[in-house]
Amino acid sequence: VVSYTSLLNAYGRSAKPEKAREIFDMMKRNSRKPNRVSYNALIDAYGSAGMLTEAVEVLREMERDGIQPDIVSISTLLAACGRCDQIVKIDGILSAAKSRGIQLNTVGYNSAIGSYMSVGEYDKALRLYRSMRESNVKPDSVTFNVLISGYCKAGKYSESLKFLDEMMDLQIPLSKEVYSSLICSYSKQGQLTEAESIFNCMRESGCYPDVVTYTAMIHAYSLTENWKRAWDIFQDMEGNGIQPDPIAFSSLMEVLNRACQPEKVLQLAELMREKHIPLNSSAAYEIISSCSMLRDWKTASQVIEHMEPSLSSISVGILNQLLHFLGKTGKIEIMMKLFFKILASCSNVSRATYSVLLKNLLAAGKWRKYIEVLQWMEDAGIQPS
RNA sequence: CAUAUCGGAGCACCU
């Protein structure tokens, strides 16, 4: 049962809920009765994929099969509500927990508060936080970070700082997530000095910055158009033995491009290749932008050759943006090359992708190609809008 | 360490 459940969970984590369900059904067929953990893992597989209805249905199935849901089942569903923007369901799940006599623990409250925050129900989140305190359930750094980052995102900065104070009063140590949130929200308010001071506090407290924290700082410098400091802090990160990831690279590349430093961008591209860091589409976009400034089409072409083979796993939006950029700058051949690569690696290419392609072909006066692509699109079963 | 909650960049198409 444990082995099956591990496999089920692995499918859930890789966003394959149908596969998870297959394993689950296989357990039932092979008389390996799924236990509570198996059911919970399946609920999460659906919940993480945004399939809330199916997730709730698994809870019912669980009860029909004589297994009592526990607080993990409930927390999993509560968290899923936030991801699916289902305001109504949060209340329903809370009352379902109550009617079954399941008391919320810290994670349960955190999940519910977080979901309320992410659907914009700040008052309900706050009320729930109060009842958490009244029920003597201990808030932790996650509780406060949910509140702090949620209120920041809503632009309610003074409220969010109140929670920071409350957290310190309770002597809950600030986690690196909290530090990163604070850096992020100060920099978005244009308070670079505050962001820097948080970053320094963090180092002094012995809670060492990781690649996420550094990226938040790079972005802070990016927002203030300070490419040199962004560059320096990137060096500092490497000096501290922290491996930059594709997001860190692309964030730095973005500010460098805006500051007209394409050579530096290509230098970073070379470093990524040396370190075998996969090119994500944002980094590819920035590299191609810098190639464009330098009129270096050969490198641009090579970048596309080296892009991750698993293009299907990255954002379609940014791939389309990349196609659009290539088309706009008249690089039709490279645009087509990327398109073929997308075709080869994605099972379904959306109308949006075809639209970008068509628009740019037409703008470039390639009407023969336009008609050809239009035909491919119809062949693929996509109706022109 | 078989299952649940928080932090970083980029967001096109459509309207």
pLDDT, residue A158, reads 84
From the alpha carbon of A182, which nucleotide's C1' atom is closest?
A: B7
Closest by CA position to A196, among listed A243, A159, A230, A162:
A230
From the alpha carbon of A219, which nucleotide's C1' atom is closest?
A: B9
Largest CA distance in chain A: 71
The gap between A139 CA and B4 C1' (Å) is 16
pLDDT, residue A315, reads 62
The gap between A305 CA and B3 C1' (Å) is 40
- Residue A120, helix vs strand vs coil: coil
Count of positions (residues) in chain A: 385
The gap between A365 CA and B7 C1' (Å) is 47
Taking the C-alpha atoms of residue A112 and residue A124, their distance in angstroms, rounded to an integer, is 10
The gap between A227 CA and B12 C1' (Å) is 26
From the alpha carbon of A181, which nucleotide's C1' atom is closest?
A: B7
Closest by CA position to A46, among listed A35, A60, A33, A27:
A60
Closest by CA position to A11, among listed A36, A42, A32, A39:
A42
Spatial neighbors of A133 by CB under 8 A, at least 6 apart, are A139
Closest by CA position to A105, among listed A73, A131, A71, A70:
A71
- Residue A236, helix vs strand vs coil: helix
The gap between A175 CA and B8 C1' (Å) is 15
The gap between A385 CA and B14 C1' (Å) is 10
Closest residue to B1 by CA to C1' distance?
A6
Angle (CA) A51-A311-A358 rounded to 5° is: 100
Is the ipTM beyond the 0.90 threshold? Answer: no
The CA-atom distances, in angstroms, between A80 and each of A111, A151, A188, A280 are 9, 20, 28, 27
From the alpha carbon of A353, which nucleotide's C1' atom is closest?
A: B13
The gap between A125 CA and B9 C1' (Å) is 28
Closest residue to B4 by CA to C1' distance?
A76
From the alpha carbon of A246, which nucleotide's C1' atom is closest?
A: B9
Q: Which residues of A35-59 are buried (b: 16+ CB within 10 A; e: fewer)?
A: eebbbbbbbbbbbbbbbbebbbebb
Closest residue to B7 by CA to C1' distance?
A177
Q: Is A210 exposed, middle or buried (0-12, 13-18, 19+ CB in 10 A)?
A: middle
The gap between A319 CA and B14 C1' (Å) is 16
From the alpha carbon of A177, which nucleotide's C1' atom is closest?
A: B7
Continuous H helices in A15-105: 17-29, 36-48, 52-64, 71-83, 87-99
From the alpha carbon of A283, which nucleotide's C1' atom is closest?
A: B10
**Under-50 pLDDT residues of chain A:** 312-313
Give phi and psi for A209, each to the nearest 5: -60, 145
pLDDT, residue A84, reads 83
Taking the C-alpha atoms of residue A181 and residue A291, their distance in angstroms, rounded to an integer, is 34
- Describe chain A by its helix, strand, coil percentages, rounded to 5: 75, 0, 25
Structural contact between residues A363 and A329, judged by C-beta atoms closer than 8 angstroms: no
pLDDT, residue A295, reads 83
Structural contact between residues A327 and A360, judged by C-beta atoms closer than 8 angstroms: yes
Q: Which nucleotides of B are covered by protein (CB under 7 A)?
A: 2-14
